[in-house]
Structure 1
Amino acid sequence: MTDKDVEVKAPKIEFPVTDYPVKVISDTGVGRKDKILEIVRKHATINDNRVDERQSSTGKYTTIQLHIVATDQDQLYNINSELRATGFVHMVL
């Protein structure tokens, strides 16, 4: 058996997850953090004590890390889709 013969499967998430980390990388701009939090709150409960914001060394990008209560895969997909549709969010991890 070679490495090519081994099928690697992504680990299955068992929902609900009460402390699911979400990292959003976006352009830096006024009101963008508030818009990101507004979108996520439409879909999930956010642990407000665990919201962190950090700018890149050039100040061009901002990373917002937050923790949510994740209920299912559709919820995560909807959060990702709506954030990406803003035009200023580059990546959701």
Structure 2
Amino acid sequence: MSEETLLVFPCQFPIKAMGKADVELDLLVLDIIRRHTDSVTKDSVSTRPSKNGTYLSVTVTITATSKPQLDAIYQDLSGHPHILMVL
């Protein structure tokens, strides 16, 4: 399998996760991402509720160091039952 990518590492990379607003989704997403990187700061996290407040999107911008790192983050986020979508 090829590890080709158009990204040049290290680079700033935003990761967005969405889920129900009834859980502390921002803390959950941060916990998962921090397993893979220590480049997360308060300034690198933003949240946005849906129009009716049912859902929440959490965007975390990290300093990505490799494609396997990004793949592992996406896999962990996608595999969590409270996270409905990852972009």
TM-score tier after normalising by the smaller chain length: 0.7 to 0.9
TM superposition shift of 1:66: 1.4
Q: Which runs of 5+ in 2 are unaligned?
A: none
Normalized against structure 2, the TM-score is what?
0.83
2-structure distance, mates of 1:91, 1:30:
15
What secondary structure, in the 3-state scheme, does the structure 2 residue paired with 1:58 have? coil
Question: Which of 29, 34, 56 is the aligned partner of 2:27?
Answer: 34
Instruction: State the 4+ residue runs in structure 1 displaced beyond 6 angstroms.
Output: none
**What is the TM-score with the length of structure 1 in the denominator?**
0.79
Match of 1:62 in 2: 56
How many pairs does the alignment contain? 83
Q: CA deviation at 1:46?
A: 1.1
Question: Do structure 1's residue 25 and structure 2's residue 18 form an aligned pair?
Answer: yes
Report whether the alignment pairs 1:75 with 2:69: yes
Inter-partner Cα distance in structure 2 for 1:12 and 1:49: 26
Bigger shift: residues 58-67 or 25-34: 25-34
Match of 1:89 among 77, 83, 87: 83
SS of match in other structure, 1:46: coil
| Identity %, equivalent residues | 29
Question: Can you give the 5+ residue segments of structure 1 that lack an aligned partner in the other structure?
Answer: 1-10
Larger radius of gyration: 1
